[in-house]
Amino acid sequence: MPKQIYLLYGTESYLIQEHKQKIIEQTLSVKDRDFNISQYDLEETPVEDVVTDAETFPFLGDNKVVIAYHPTFLKAKPDKLSFDHNVEALLQYINNPADYSVLILIAPYEKLDERKKIFKQLKKIGEVLPCQPIREWDMDKWIKSIAEDLQITIPESVFELFAQEIGTNLMALRKEIEKLALHVETGGVVSRELAENLLSHSAEASGLKLVDAVMEKDLGRAIRLYKDLVKANEEPIALIALLASQFRIISQVKTLKQKGYAQNQMKSYVKAHPFVIKMALKRERAFTSEELNEIIQQLAETDYIMKQGQMEKGLAFEMLLYQLIHIKNREMV
């Protein structure tokens, strides 16, 4: 049975939107939604005004939905505002809500102070729905779910690209899959080539692609990737830091693997997302420990050369790529 009061909290905006939409659909018919939904920002409006609205009868129809964003008074350290919220008025309303109103509080914060009386009452009388970012291991489930919702098929072989390019941001994932759906239409299948061409690219994902180009001894591809990143306003020094980070993780993972650690045990030692560790495990097989140490040393030396102004940055980075691939090519001699 639907509640009269909901608290949606967390930083995953996609889940907040999904829960909010479902509550509205359960409460109001389509024809009543234009007149019986009101929204407030509690950084600009006192909560007692929201309570007054919730207590007021619907303009048309039998029910209404009142949505209030940013209830900062639920945080451990509330933000300073130009006014004070009358939280007592909200407490009184929670204990005796209007049966024709549904109140939704939306707190897009990572944490709330669960010790506060107001939070405890919301949990006791209403429904508290956490909306936190999803875990890496849940990504496959969400890709399938969104694809089914949009009536397209995404092969499992393509899932890795989504995790690599987008991470675990559900709103971004939804937008990227919607973009793909426009190209394949209803019932279509997303090919790997289409996904590679259309997915928005992150700097970290491009860093992984540079690692792959070195691993595959493909200097031409490495330089093309570098020039694409320069066009996207990425600085060579920042790219060296990105590459160094990737190769350090690969080196750490290789060492831990040699010591007998499983992937799920590595996250206690490697300060990186589980997906990054998973990708590093795939890549470490292509490098010896000596090669990784030499690559990291070469990155450090080029970083120093750039920062000392001893060579033009673009030229220094292209020379670096040549040297990294030369390290890999030695095994062929």
**CATH number for the domain harbouring residue 177:** 1.10.8.60
Higher-scoring residue by pLDDT: 332, 207: 207
| Average per-residue pLDDT for the chain | 87
Q: Which of 146, 175, 198 is the last residue of a domain?
A: 198
101 and 190 belong to one structural domain? no
Domains in the chain: how many in total? 3
B/e letters for 279-309, b = 16+ CB within 10 Å, e = fewer, are bbbebbebbeeebbebbbebbeebbeebeee
237 and 325 belong to one structural domain? yes
Kindly indicate the confidence band of residue 165, based on its pLDDT and cuts at 50, 70 and 90. Answer: low
192 and 244 belong to one structural domain? no
The average pLDDT across 327-332 equals: 58
22 and 143 belong to one structural domain? no
Is the Cβ–Cβ distance between 71 and 107 less than 8 Å? yes
58 and 115 belong to one structural domain? yes
298 and 219 belong to one structural domain? yes
Q: Which of 130, 162, 179 is the last residue of a domain?
A: 130
Domain that holds residue 120: 5-130
100 and 13 belong to one structural domain? yes
Higher-scoring residue by pLDDT: 242, 248: 248
The amino acid that residue 76 corresponds to is A
140 and 111 belong to one structural domain? no
Kindly indicate the confidence band of residue 138, based on its pLDDT and cuts at 50, 70 and 90. Answer: confident
The average pLDDT across 72-92 equals: 93
**pLDDT 10s digits, 54-80:** 999 998 888 999 999 999 999 999 889
The answer to whether residue 207 scores a pLDDT higher than 70 is: no
**pLDDT 10s digits, 105-129:** 999 998 999 999 999 999 999 999 9
The answer to whether residue 178 scores a pLDDT higher than 60 is: yes
Give residue 212's pLDDT. Answer: 79
Give residue 23's pLDDT. Answer: 95
With a CB cutoff of 8 Å and minimum separation 6, the contacts of 155 are 189, 190, 192
With a CB cutoff of 8 Å and minimum separation 6, the contacts of 285 are none
The answer to whether residue 289 scores a pLDDT higher than 70 is: yes
Q: Which of 72, 98, 130 is the last residue of a domain?
A: 130
The answer to whether residue 205 scores a pLDDT higher than 50 is: yes
The average pLDDT across 89-105 equals: 95
